[in-house]
Amino acid sequence: MNWFLDTGLEATPNKEMTSRGTAARRPASLASLDLNLLVFLRELLRERNVTRAAQRVGVSQPTASAALSRLRRHFNDQLLIRSRGAFTLSPLAVQLAMQVEPVCAGLERLFSTSSEFDPLESEREFKLLTVDYVLAAFGEQLSREMYQAGPKIRLYVQVVKQHLPSDPLETLRVIDGMISAPKAEFRVPGIRSLELFRDRWVCLVDRNNPVSDHLRLSDLERLPWVVPHHPDGGYPPSSPLGPLMARLGTRPKVAVRVDSYQATPYFVAGTDRIAIMQRRLARLFANRADLRVLECPGDPPPIVETLWWHEQKEHDEGHKWWREAVERAARRCEVADGVGRSRHAIRAAN
């Protein structure tokens, strides 16, 4: 199974002059496009290097150079710009990079559609959107599960850096699934779900922090915090820790904000700071002699991680296989964690 973090397009340009005298491109019809260049465009924008893109696509260097020239003529843009010995994407190429992935994914699903699905032979790519905490919790098990059952199947994992998409229904039309805590915007017609696993909140402090092993809410109010994915200007009430924050008599003193759950412990060690984090993630650092993992006071709500997908994929045999692989991976993690509980699918509210 190949993992990707994160098949042309040549046509005679149709242009017309606007009232300002600038060129505006008319929408090109599919019949006039060479869709073979789409694969090269995707790899070019991923790799930002013509040679590596050629290797990924499986073409010669001259063929790749010719494809780049055609793309530059089509878009009337350099796409790749040399800077200090390396290549960077032009502003237009940055826009294309955001558009080409869902387009290619849609085409791949379209042309791989079949009434039969053989995981041992399929080279289908599944796209998953989630946060780095979920990958720490069961990413390795998911990799093993998929590789053992479908060694040629590919997985593209897109890690959320800040916020989940504001329109999950439209997002799930072009990707295979999203793993996140339940949110109101996910419970709409057209979205299906499966609870994967549960976790709980714990506190992380430096080994030499004089705070007691039995934390109180007053300790949370007094100590400076390290907070992942925290917008400036206050802890949002819609956050998973909203109920706990409401019990505090004062707003937490945020000393460090970081856009990564897994980076949180590095800003606790050697300081008087405290972090509230998921137990499955905290246990990865439990063997460090300079850190302590403590129970969280205030009875915070449980963490529920759920797989979400679009109802259009409900009866897709390949997608069904993938959902089952994700569920098996989550179940095996819970068994290894000593949790082991029954599992059932829950439909989103209609």
Calculate mean pLDDT across residues 132-143. Answer: 91
CA angle 167, 42, 49 (to 5 degrees): 130
What is the predicted pLDDT for the residue at 296? 92
What confidence category does residue 337 fall into, taking pLDDT thresholds of 50, 70 and 90? low
DSSP category for residue 29: P
What confidence category does residue 231 fall into, taking pLDDT thresholds of 50, 70 and 90? low
Query: Which CATH code fits 125-198+303-337?
Result: 3.40.190.10
Amino acid at 315: H
What is the predicted pLDDT for the residue at 9? 38
- Distance separating alpha carbons of residues 223 and 262, to the nearest angstrom: 21
What is the predicted pLDDT for the residue at 174? 92
The DSSP result for 110-138, as a single string, is HHH--S---TTT---EEEEEE-HHHHHHH
CATH 1.10.760.10 for domain 33-107 = no
What would the pLDDT profile of 37-51 be if each residue is shown by its tens digit?
A: 888 899 898 888 888
Tokens found for residue 327? 């569920």
Neighbouring C-alpha atoms within 13 Å toward the C-beta of 70: 20
Paired with 202 in beta bridges are 277, 295
Query: 71 with 41: CB under 8 angstroms?
Result: yes
- Distance separating alpha carbons of residues 279 and 287, to the nearest angstrom: 13
More confident residue, 21 or 281: 281
What is the predicted pLDDT for the residue at 290? 92
Q: Please tell me which of 245-254, 297-306, 327-336 the model is most confident about, judged by mean pLDDT.
A: 297-306
CB count in 10 Å sphere of residue 129 = 22
- Residue (of 246, 245, 283, 234) closest to 262 by Cα position: 283
Paired with 295 in beta bridges are 202
What is the predicted pLDDT for the residue at 228? 83
Distances from the Cα of 138 to the Cα of 209, 211, 281, 284, angstroms: 30, 31, 10, 12
Whole-angstrom Cα Rg for the chain? 24
Q: What does pLDDT average to over the chain? A: 82
CB count in 10 Å sphere of residue 233 = 6
What is the predicted pLDDT for the residue at 236? 53
Q: What sign does the dihedral 78-82-86-88 (CA atoms) show?
A: negative
With a cut of 90, say whether residue 22 has pLDDT above it.
Answer: no
What is the predicted pLDDT for the residue at 173? 93
3-state SS, residue 63: helix
Q: What are phi and psi of 49, to 5 degrees?
A: -160, 125
What share of the chain has pLDDT > 90, as a percent? 40
What is the predicted pLDDT for the residue at 323? 96
Query: Which CATH code fits 201-295?
Result: 3.40.190.10
What is the predicted pLDDT for the residue at 21? 37
Query: 33 with 8: CB under 8 angstroms?
Result: yes
What is the predicted pLDDT for the residue at 175? 95
What is the predicted pLDDT for the residue at 340? 40
In this prediction the pTM is: 0.62
CA angle 20, 26, 27 (to 5 degrees): 145
Tokens found for residue 41? 């465009």
Q: What are the sequence ranges of the domains in the chain?
A: 33-107, 125-198+303-337, 201-295
- Distance separating alpha carbons of residues 87 and 163, to the nearest angstrom: 29
Q: What's the gap between Cα 348 and its chain centre? A: 21
- Distance separating alpha carbons of residues 59 and 64, to the nearest angstrom: 7
- Distance separating alpha carbons of residues 81 and 40, to the nearest angstrom: 17
Domains 125-198+303-337 and 201-295 share a fold: yes
What is the predicted pLDDT for the residue at 348? 35
- Residue (of 272, 283, 297) closest to 208 by Cα position: 272
- Distance separating alpha carbons of residues 327 and 333, to the nearest angstrom: 10
CA angle 108, 113, 114 (to 5 degrees): 150
Residues 6+ apart with CB under 8 A from 153: 1, 119, 122, 123, 124, 125, 126, 146, 322
With a cut of 50, say whether residue 291 has pLDDT above it.
Answer: yes
What is the predicted pLDDT for the residue at 239? 65
DSSP category for residue 65: H
What would the pLDDT profile of 161-200 be if each residue is shown by its tens digit?
A: 767 788 899 999 999 999 998 888 888 999 999 999 999 9
Tokens found for residue 240? 């998973």
